[in-house]
């Protein structure tokens, strides 16, 4: 519920006028873009999202003919950077890379920001979760694992791969729910990322790690773990031997960690169109494809409208799963 006070109304009216004046001046200076663009990355330098932002920035620079600088605004578990993107003036000179957390954090009451706080430009990546078990685990396929989970008493089996309420935890919750089980039928063991989770899997500490297959790749190649299925609609061309859940179980369940480019709300449509075209060219370019393949990241494209729809759907699904798992803050 938004309380519209007089002071608040005056402030927002002033902000609107300011925004209009700024876009006006931007157009007066000539065709967009006439000066360098900043791309905000809410996560630290050296990580996967940072690398993704930098490769997109390189491509945009070539397409738009203006420097595109990646600025890491970290802190607050991603909230600080996401807030900075939303609060930037809507003139097209400050953009950002959104990550799946934007559709999760507001359900936990950590921020007021939702996917609707932005002007979506393009979805550029999605990594579906896989279902990894220890190499010598007795389950030959995901069906046997699902049967074993159903037969086990609640809380007996353990899974890990990210913090409590992280994306892979919610993937597990969603999958268990699609099997008709309680969200806590398999106990979640919080870990500091996928790699420690995979290590604990190999050390025999947990039974399942539902992280993305590329994150588990080195351990699978080392013969320490196996990937039984991925929670996606289609197989990953880089891992053609790993079936989807739908093929094996007949129940469709798909989710994933994604990254996309967006600007603050109320970006002028001309700028959205121009950036959308440029991003499409970047996405189709060889440099981007090579980068994504080398890092093992999943390619997924959606244009501005498609990205908006994708985020809305994902947001609603996240809300359901988080409420079911008791992770959402009681409203």
Partner 1 sequence: MTTFLEALGMVAAPDVLLAILVSAIYGLVVGSMPGLSATMATALLVPVTFYLSPIAAVATIITASAMAIFSGDIPGALLRIPGTPASAAYVDEAYAMTRKGQPELALGIGLWFSALGGIAGTISLVVLAPTLAELAFSFSTFEYFWLAILGLMCATLVARSSPIKAIAAMLIGLLVSCIGMENPGGIPRFTFGSTDLLGGIEVVPALVGAFAVSEVMRALLLPEPPKMPHRRFGSIMAGQIRLTKQYWNQMTRGNIVGIIIGVLPGAGADMAAWVSYAMSKRFSRTPEKFGTGHPEGLVEAGASNNASLASGWVPSLLFGIPGDTITAIAIGVLYMKGLNPGPTLFTERASSMYALYIIFMLANIIMIPLGIMMIRATSHVLRAPRAAIMPIVLVCAAVGAFATGNNLFAVTVVAAFGVIGFVMEANGYPVAALVLGIVMGTMVEQSLVTSLIKSDGSLLPFFERPVSAILAVMTFAALLWPAGVWLHRRLGRRGRAQAA
Nearer to partner 1, 79 or 179 (CB): 79
Residue selected from 63, 199, 274, 281 as contacting partner 1 according to rule CB under 8 A:
199
44 in contact with partner 1 (CB under 8 A): yes
91 in contact with partner 1 (CB under 8 A): no
How long is the chain?
Answer: 331
At 262, is the secondary structure helix, strand, or coil? strand
CA dihedral 194, 196, 201, 207 (to 10 degrees): -60
Q: Which helix (H) or strand (E) holds 188?
A: strand 187-189
203 in contact with partner 1 (CB under 8 A): yes
Least separation in angstroms between residue 242's CB and partner 1 is 17
Residue selected from 224, 226, 259, 300 as contacting partner 1 according to rule CB under 8 A:
224
Tally of helices (H runs) and strands (E runs) in the chain: 11, 10
Is the distance from CB of 95 to CB of 263 less than 8 angstroms? yes
Contact window for partner 1 (CB under 8 A) among 64-72, 139-147, 170-178, 262-270: 64-72
Buried-state track 109-121, b at ≥16 Cβ within 10 A, e below 16: ebbebbbebbbbb
At 331, is the secondary structure helix, strand, or coil? coil
| Of 152, 156, 165, 128, residue with least CA distance to 297 | 128
Residue selected from 80, 135, 148, 299 as contacting partner 1 according to rule CB under 8 A:
80
Residue selected from 13, 218, 252, 305 as contacting partner 1 according to rule CB under 8 A:
218
Residues 102 to 161: which contact partner 1 by CB under 8 A? 108, 110-111, 155, 158, 160
Least separation in angstroms between residue 9's CB and partner 1 is 24
241 in contact with partner 1 (CB under 8 A): no
Contact window for partner 1 (CB under 8 A) among 184-192, 255-263, 302-310, 317-325: 184-192
Within 10 angstroms of residue 306's Cβ, the number of other Cβ atoms is 13
Residue selected from 138, 180, 204, 269 as contacting partner 1 according to rule CB under 8 A:
204
Structure letter (DSSP) for residue 59: H
| Percent helix, strand and coil across the chain, each to the nearest 5 | 45, 20, 35
What angle is formed at CA 20 by the lines to CA 15 and CA 24, rounded to 5 degrees?
145
| Of 230, 224, 235, 223, residue with least CA distance to 198 | 224
Residue selected from 10, 222, 273, 305 as contacting partner 1 according to rule CB under 8 A:
222
**Can you tell me the distance from the alpha carbon of 27 to that of 19, in angstroms, rounded to the nearest whole number?**
12
300 in contact with partner 1 (CB under 8 A): no
Decide the pairing of beta strands 299-302 and 118-127.
antiparallel
Least separation in angstroms between residue 287's CB and partner 1 is 10
One character per residue 264-283, x = contact with partner 1 (rule: CB under 8 A): --------------------
Cis peptide before 272, with omega less than 30 degrees from 0? no
Contact window for partner 1 (CB under 8 A) among 2-10, 73-81, 233-241, 270-278: 73-81
319 in contact with partner 1 (CB under 8 A): no
18 in contact with partner 1 (CB under 8 A): no
Contact window for partner 1 (CB under 8 A) among 40-48, 134-142, 234-242, 254-262: 40-48
219 in contact with partner 1 (CB under 8 A): yes
| Of 138, 131, 96, residue with least CA distance to 117 | 96
Q: How many residues bind partner 1 (CB under 8 A)?
A: 59
Q: In the complex, which residues of this chain contact partner 1 (CB under 8 A)?
A: 44-48, 50-51, 54-55, 58, 70-77, 79-80, 83, 108, 110-111, 155, 158, 160, 163-166, 187-192, 195-196, 198-200, 202-206, 217-219, 221-224, 291, 294-296, 327
């Amino acid at each position: 519920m938004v309380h519209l006070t007089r002071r608040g109304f005056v402030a927002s009216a002033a902000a609107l006028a300011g925004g209009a004046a700024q876009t006006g001046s931007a157009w007066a200076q000539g065709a967009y873009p006439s000066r360098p663009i900043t791309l905000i990355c809410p996560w630290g330098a050296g990580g996967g999202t940072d690398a993704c932002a930098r490769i997109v920035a390189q491509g945009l620079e070539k397409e738009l003919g203006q420097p595109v600088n990646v600025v890491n605004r970290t802190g607050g578990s991603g909230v600080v950077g996401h807030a900075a993107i939303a609060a930037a003036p809507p003139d097209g000179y400050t953009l950002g890379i959104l990550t799946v957390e934007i559709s999760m954090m507001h359900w936990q009451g950590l921020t007021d920001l939702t996917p609707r706080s932005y002007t979506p430009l393009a979805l550029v990546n999605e990594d579906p979760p896989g279902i990894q078990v220890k190499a010598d685990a007795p389950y030959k396929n995901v069906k046997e694992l699902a049967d074993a989970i159903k037969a086990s008493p609640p809380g007996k089996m353990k899974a890990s791969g990210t913090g409590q309420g992280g994306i892979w935890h919610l993937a597990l919750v969603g999958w268990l729910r699609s099997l008709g089980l309680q969200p806590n039928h398999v106990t979640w063991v919080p870990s500091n990322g996928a790699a420690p989770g995979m290590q604990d899997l190999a050390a025999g500490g947990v039974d399942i790690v539902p992280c993305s297959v590329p994150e588990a790749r080195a351990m699978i190649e080392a013969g320490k773990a196996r990937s039984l299925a991925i929670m996606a609609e289609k197989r990953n061309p880089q891992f053609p031997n790993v079936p989807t859940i739908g093929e094996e179980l007949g129940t469709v369940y798909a989710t994933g960690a994604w990254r996309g480019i967006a600007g603050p709300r109320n970006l002028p449509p001309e700028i959205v169109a121009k950036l959308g075209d440029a991003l499409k060219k970047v996405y189709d370019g060889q440099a981007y494809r090579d980068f994504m393949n080398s890092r093992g990241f999943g390619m997924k494209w959606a244009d501005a409208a498609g990205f908006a729809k994708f985020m809305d759907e994902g947001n609603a699904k996240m809300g359901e799963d988080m409420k079911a798992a008791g992770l959402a803050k009681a409203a």
